[in-house]
Amino acid sequence: GDSVTQMEGPVTLSEEAFLTINCTYTATGYPSLFWYVQYPGEGLQLLLKATKADDKGSNKGFEATYRKETTSFHLEKGSVQVSDSAVYFCALSKDQGAQKLVFGQGTRLTINP
């Protein structure tokens, strides 16, 4: 079946460091890919998405590029802030939208001042 694999956490960085969280997927066809973020005590918020190969999603300084040849969707940010501390989830959907998401296990990110 379809699956998503994220890099193991937790990840701890200093403020202004460069961030990469790796995400690879296994799926038939052409899934849409997403990154969601979960802050403590909250639900999930969509951070960015890409719906076809070579698309780049971006939001709030975060970026990820849909790489079909490597089945990857790695999340990057050039300079992290303390407020970026959260759990990040990579996900895929075979629907046009995101009604049936398959999630990775999540990566907890902590940014120290």
Partner 1 sequence: KAGVTQTPRYLIKTRGQQVTLSCSPISGHRSVSWYQQTPGQGLQFLFEYFSETQRNKGNFPGRFSGRQFSNSRSEMNVSTLELGDSALYLCASSWGQGEAFFGQGTRLTVV
**Residue 67 Cβ, how far from partner 1 at the closest point, in Å?**
22
Task: Choose the stretch contacting partner 1; rule: CB under 8 A; options: 14-22, 54-62, 74-82, 102-110.
Answer: 102-110
- Site membership for partner 1, residue 29 (CB under 8 A): no
- Site membership for partner 1, residue 104 (CB under 8 A): yes
Is the CA virtual torsion 71, 9, 46, 78 positive or negative? Answer: negative
- Site membership for partner 1, residue 65 (CB under 8 A): no
The CA distance from 43 to 96, in Å, is 22
> Nearest to residue 2, comparing CAs of 107, 105, 103?
103
The maximal CA–CA distance of the chain, rounded, in angstroms, is: 43
**Residue 57 Cβ, how far from partner 1 at the closest point, in Å?**
12
99 burial type by CB count under 10 A (0-12 exposed, 13-18 middle, 19+ buried): exposed
- Site membership for partner 1, residue 44 (CB under 8 A): yes
**Residue 106 Cβ, how far from partner 1 at the closest point, in Å?**
6
DSSP symbols for 80-106: --GGG-EEEEEEEESSSSSSSEEE---
- Site membership for partner 1, residue 46 (CB under 8 A): yes
Specify the residue, 15 or 95, whose C-beta has the smaller distance to partner 1: 95
Contacts with partner 1, residue ranges (CB under 8 A): 36, 41-46, 49, 89, 91, 95-106
